[in-house]
Amino acid sequence: MDKRLVIAFTFLTLLHSLQVNSQPKTDIIHLQNASFEDIPRCCQTPSKWLDIGASNETPPDIQPGSFNVSRPAKNGNTYLGMVVRDNDTGEGVSQKLLSPLKKGYCYHFTIWLCRSELYLSQSPTTKKPANYITPVRLALYGGTESSFTSQLLSITEEITNSEWKEYVFEIKPKEDFDYLTITAQHKKPLLFPYNGNVLVDYASDLTGFKCEDKTTSAQKKITKQEQKIGDNSNTSSASRSMQHAEFNAAATTFDRKKIKVGQTIRIEKLFFDADSTNIRKSSLPVLDELLQFMQSNSDIVIEVGGHSNDIPSEEFCDRLSTARAKSVADYLISKGIQSNRVKYKGYGKRNPLFPNLTSENRKRNQRVEIKILSMG
């Protein structure tokens, strides 16, 4: 072969190799039943999707047709309808991915959302007819078998549009996740839970790029938003996974500058004897920290909320969680905090932060939280 042809062939081969290697590496994850197609019916998750709601509440709905929801689908024939309720719960679905979300990748994802102007059902608190019309937010989580909501990936503002609208997400997993979870959540801060809905259709593939290849201003915005939620959250909607960790802050210090009315703060390192209201001595430091916070902020009124796991009966859980919340309130009152500044309530097993699938999750669900009722 002519020497000049060999040189030319070698050059073209090298050029092609450089062009191929210069292309950003992508990771495409296809969702199963991304358009939520199934037989329209209430209280049933679409094929390929798991219900991650509280055990005492019904699953989301395959719409249209139930509860007077009539909007045509954006794609195909059916879509997902999810609600939040005035008993402080919300709905969510999860799917095990065909390949995991990977740490070090930034993913592009879109989904179509809107709000139905009619979603007629019954209020779980008043037992009277109610229209679940108040706007809600939609959140995306990355998760594992033990916790479907390990990391909040992104969250919208309240969905107010009554026509289908495409929402774009840029997400960055902090570790590898096998599950993608989609949840409906109350707006924050939340003082009084309400009934609301969101309709979900036509999700895209998750398109991943190595983060150094695709760094966008949208991703930076999401990261800041995620940090803000981590600092200023209320745990109630998380009970659908959720509510999962629903972004309640774990208390190590009580900082007035970082709290708002309606916010819920989970108290870490507060322990009771088994099936008892006796507070262990190892819990006194965090109780005294809460006491000092209440003494330094005489205008703040709180609710102490007790929560349990799902193993005992509902009656026992309600009784124990109420008694434990009262024990914490009594401690504060015994140290001089006025009784009208400390309310208490037992929520039993109605608002789990995590699915009660493991002993570790049950321990995390058995907790005490402080809700800020008023400030100044």
| pLDDT tens profile 101-119 | 999 999 999 999 999 999 9
Higher pLDDT, 314 or 85: 85
Higher pLDDT, 26 or 369: 369
Strand blocks (E) in the chain: 26-29, 50-51, 61-63, 79-84, 92-101, 105-114, 120-122, 129-131, 134-135, 137-143, 151-155, 165-171, 177-185, 196-201, 206-210, 249-251, 264-267, 301-306, 342-346, 368-374
Higher pLDDT, 28 or 212: 28
C-alpha 117, offset from chain centre: 24
Average pLDDT of the residues in 171-200: 92
2 has pLDDT over 70: no
pLDDT category at 9 given cuts 50, 70, 90 is low
Query: Are 187 and 102 spatial neighbours (Cβ–Cβ below 8 Å)?
Result: no
Write down the pLDDT at residue 231: 38
Higher pLDDT, 218 or 184: 184
Question: In sequence order, what DSSP letters do the residues of 247-283 get, joined into one string?
Answer: SPEEESS--GGG--TT-EEEE-S--B-TTS-PBPGGG
Q: Which CATH number fits domain 27-231: 3.30.390.50, 2.30.110.10, 1.10.1370.30, 2.60.120.260?
A: 2.60.120.260
| pLDDT tens profile 227-241 | 333 333 333 333 333
Write down the pLDDT at residue 267: 87
Residue type, 24: P
Write down the pLDDT at residue 26: 62
pLDDT category at 181 given cuts 50, 70, 90 is very high
What's 249-374's CATH class? Answer: alpha beta
Average pLDDT of the residues in 132-147: 93
| pLDDT tens profile 303-340 | 999 998 887 788 888 989 999 999 999 999 999 999 99
**Residue intervals in the chain for CATH 2.60.120.260:** 27-231
**Residue intervals in the chain for CATH 3.30.1330.60:** 249-374
pLDDT category at 225 given cuts 50, 70, 90 is very low
Higher pLDDT, 195 or 242: 195
160 has pLDDT over 70: yes
Write down the pLDDT at residue 245: 29
Average pLDDT over the chain, rounded to whole? 82
Give the CA count within 13 Å in the CB-facing half-sphere of 98: 11
Write down the pLDDT at residue 7: 56
Write down the pLDDT at residue 25: 55
Phi and psi at residue 321, in whole multiples of 5°?
Answer: -65, -35
| pLDDT tens profile 14-72 | 544 444 444 445 689 999 999 999 999 999 999 999 999 887 889 999 999 999 999 99
Out of 17-31, 60-74, 201-215, 254-268, pick the least confident.
Answer: 17-31
CA distance 184 to 230: 17
Average pLDDT of the residues in 172-187: 94
Write down the pLDDT at residue 11: 52
Write down the pLDDT at residue 192: 86
Rg, C-alpha atoms of the chain: 24
Residue type, 188: K
- What pTM did the predictor assign? 0.54
276 has pLDDT over 90: no
Choose among 32, 34, 241: nearest CA to 142: 241
280 has pLDDT over 50: yes
CA distance 22 to 43: 49
